[in-house]
Amino acid sequence: MIVIEGIIGAGKTTFSHGLHKKIARSTLYLEPVNSNPYLDKFYKDPARWGLEMQYFLMAKRFQMHVEGIYKEWSEGTTTIFDRSIYGDRAFAEVLHDDGFIDDMGYQSYLQHRQCMEKQLLKPQLVIHLNVGIETAIERVRQRGRECESGISGTYLKSLNNAYLKILGELQKDTTVETIPWDQDRTEDEIQFEVSAICKRHASKFIRHEGLSHPKTQPTQQSAPRQMVAT
């Protein structure tokens, strides 16, 4: 399991597609933007919809993570996540710090998160795309989502600080690699970067062929072998 993290406008989706293209037998889980019924409402009134949206996203990402674990064990694929349940906490933290989520709501949210995270296997690799605030703002502007037009540099800076704290916590349990990602890259250049990552972390791409889901008893097992990168 590989997780791609970074602030809004970091380039996670483009990078995730490149990684998915490179790793044979991989499954890509994109951010639930189109299926998020709260997004437009949230940007118009974060105090009203912030906590509700964070609960929705937490549940959605938990569901995706569990499905990803099952696919890795039952189908032998490497799963790739364009942001995860771990990085999503940064958004809730900033909303709380900015006063859009009150203390009681935030503590309830954290308690629910703690219960969920205890049920999950940590990713084998977290790739953090590190970009400057101005770069992120320009990329947000270029993609032209109307609901994101009000995103400020101050908000992105707070989000980045929250992210760095979460990534520091994740380093205790898994591998975190930070990659400078300010420079725009062609598809070939992205593939070059992805190839280098695959070589550095080849042992993370494990195929569980012949293994059943952890909750079932396999009738026959074959030794795990490396995921083939084309």
Cα separation of 34 and 50, whole Å?
17
Average pLDDT, the chain: 86
> For the chain, which domains are there?
2-226 (3.40.50.300)
134: Cα within 13 Å, side-chain hemisphere: 1
How confident is residue 35, by pLDDT bands cut at 50, 70 and 90? confident
What's 228's DSSP letter?
Answer: P
Closest CA to 206 of 129, 83, 121: 121
Residue tagged active-site, from 45, 82, 98, 188: 82
229 in Cβ contact with 223 (< 8 Å): no
Residue 78 bridge partners (DSSP): 26
**Annotation says 82 is catalytic:** yes
Cα separation of 121 and 106, whole Å?
24
Choose the weakest-confidence range: 45-49, 74-78, 223-227: 223-227
Residue predicted with more confidence, 54 or 146: 54
Q: Is 176 helix (H, G, I), strand (E, B) or coil?
A: strand
The answer for residues whose C-beta is within 8 angstroms of residue 200's C-beta and 6 or more apart is 177
How confident is residue 150, by pLDDT bands cut at 50, 70 and 90? confident
Residue predicted with more confidence, 34 or 171: 171
Mind giving me the DSSP string for 136-169? HHHHHHHHT-GGGTT--HHHHHHHHHHHHHHHHH
Predicted TM-score (pTM) of the model is 0.85
Q: What's the pLDDT tens digit per position in 89-108?
A: 999 999 999 999 999 999 99
Looking at residue 106, its amino acid is Y
